[in-house]
Structure 1
Amino acid sequence: MSKDINCNDAETIKHENSNDILDYIKELGELATGDETLSKYSGILVKFLTEQKVKCFDFRSSSDLKYIGKGSFSTVSSVIFEGRIYALKSLNNNIQMNKTQLKQFTRELMNLYEANHANIIKLHGISRGPMSSNFMLVLQFANGGTLFEYLGKMRRGDLYQISWNILIRTAKGITNGLTHLHKNGVIHRDLHSKNILIHDDEALIADFGLSKRNDELSTSTNNNYCAVGYTDPLFLLQGTKRKRDDKSDIYSLGVLLWELTSGIPPFHDLPIFRKIIQISNNIRPNIVDGTPPAYSDMFIKCWSAEPNDRPSLNEISRKLENLSTESIEFITNKITHNQIETEQHDSKSLDQEHNRANNSSINNNSFTDVVDNETIGNPS
Structure 2
Amino acid sequence: MESGTGFFALEECRLDPKWLIDPELLFVGPKIGEGAHAEVYEGKYKNQNVAVKVMHKGDSQEDVAKREARYMREVAMLARGQHKNLVKFIGACKEPMVVVTELLLGGSLRKYLINMRPRSLEPRVAVGFALDIARAMECLHSHGIIHRDLKPALVSFPENLLLTADQRTVKLVDLGLAREETLTEMMTAETGTYRWMAPELYSTVTLRHGEKKHYNHKVDVYSFAIVLWELLHNRLPFEGMSNLQAAYAVAFKNVRPSADDLPEELASILTSCWKEDPNSRPNFSQIVQMLLHYLSTLSPPEHVNPSCAYSSENVVLPPESPGTSSLMAARDEIGDTTTDENKWRGFFFCFSQCF
Normalising to structure 1: TM-score of the pair?
0.63
- SS of the residue corresponding to residue 133 of structure 2 reads helix
CA distance in 2, matches of 1:217, 1:93: 23
Q: Does 1:126 align with 2:85?
A: no
Q: Does 1:228 align with 2:194?
A: yes
Give the counterpart of 1:113 among 79, 85, 106. Answer: 79
Structure 2 gaps, min length 5? 1-7, 153-158, 181-186, 302-308, 311-355
Q: 1:102 to 1:124 in 2, by over 3 A?
A: same
Q: Does 1:163 align with 2:122?
A: yes
Post-superposition shift, 1:317? 1.4
Q: Does 1:204 align with 2:171?
A: yes
CA contact (8 A) 2:146 2:178 kept: no
Correspondence list, 1:194-343, <5 A: 194-199=159-164, 200=166, 201-210=168-177, 215=188, 227-238=193-204, 240-280=211-251, 281-287=253-259, 289=261, 291-327=262-298
Q: Which letter does structure 1 place at the counterpart of 2:132?
A: G
Correspondence list, 1:68-87, <5 A: 68-87=32-51
Q: 1:316 to 1:217 in 2, by over 3 A?
A: closer
Q: Does 1:54 align with 2:51?
A: no
- SS of the residue corresponding to residue 161 of structure 1 reads coil
CA distance in 1, matches of 2:269, 2:91: 37
Q: Which letter does structure 2 place at the counterpart of 1:321?
A: L
The match for 1:180 is 139
Correspondence list, 1:118-157, <5 A: 118-127=84-93, 134-155=96-117
- SS of the residue corresponding to residue 22 of structure 1 reads coil
Post-superposition shift, 1:149? 1.5
Structure 1 gaps, min length 5? 1-18, 24-44, 219-225, 332-380
Post-superposition shift, 1:125? 0.9
CA contact (8 A) 1:124 1:138 kept: yes
- SS of the residue corresponding to residue 325 of structure 1 reads helix
Q: 1:308 to 1:115 in 2, by over 3 A?
A: closer
Q: Which letter does structure 2 place at the counterpart of 1:322?
A: H
Q: 1:92 to 1:103 in 2, by over 3 A?
A: closer
CA distance in 1, matches of 2:273, 2:129: 17
- SS of the residue corresponding to residue 255 of structure 2 reads coil
Post-superposition shift, 1:94? 0.7
The match for 2:313 is none
Post-superposition shift, 1:56? 1.8
CA distance in 1, matches of 2:247, 2:190: 18
Post-superposition shift, 1:271? 2.0
Q: 1:137 to 1:197 in 2, by over 3 A?
A: same
CA distance in 1, matches of 2:292, 2:213: 33
- SS of the residue corresponding to residue 143 of structure 1 reads coil
Post-superposition shift, 1:288? 7.0
Correspondence list, 1:3-42, <5 A: 22=11
Q: 1:52 to 1:60 in 2, by over 3 A?
A: closer
Q: Percent identity?
A: 23
CA distance in 1, matches of 2:284, 2:215: 16
Q: Which letter does structure 2 place at the counterpart of 1:88?
A: V
CA distance in 2, matches of 1:192, 1:138: 22
CA contact (8 A) 2:265 2:294 kept: yes
Aligned pair count?
Answer: 274
- SS of the residue corresponding to residue 175 of structure 2 reads coil
CA distance in 2, matches of 1:217, 1:234: 9
Q: Which letter does structure 2 place at the counterpart of 1:198?
A: L
Q: Which letter does structure 2 place at the counterpart of 1:283?
A: V
CA RMSD of aligned residues (A): 3.2
The match for 1:377 is none
CA distance in 1, matches of 2:271, 2:9: 42
Q: 1:288 to 1:160 in 2, by over 3 A?
A: farther
Post-superposition shift, 1:206? 2.3
Tell which has more relative contact order, 1 or 2 (C-alpha 8 A, sep 6+). 2
Q: For residues 330-366 of structure 1, give each alpha carbon's deviation from its aligned partner in whole angstroms, at most 9, with x where no partner exists.
A: 79xxxxxxxxxxxxxxxxxxxxxxxxxxxxxxxxxxx
CA contact (8 A) 2:26 2:46 kept: no
CA distance in 1, matches of 2:242, 2:29: 36
Q: 1:236 to 1:314 in 2, by over 3 A?
A: same
- SS of the residue corresponding to residue 151 of structure 1 reads helix
CA distance in 2, matches of 1:315, 1:104: 30
Q: 1:270 to 1:310 in 2, by over 3 A?
A: same
CA distance in 1, matches of 2:285, 2:190: 32
Post-superposition shift, 1:322? 1.1
Post-superposition shift, 1:22? 3.0
Post-superposition shift, 1:307? 0.9
CA contact (8 A) 1:22 1:103 kept: no
CA distance in 1, matches of 2:128, 2:101: 23
CA contact (8 A) 1:167 1:260 kept: yes
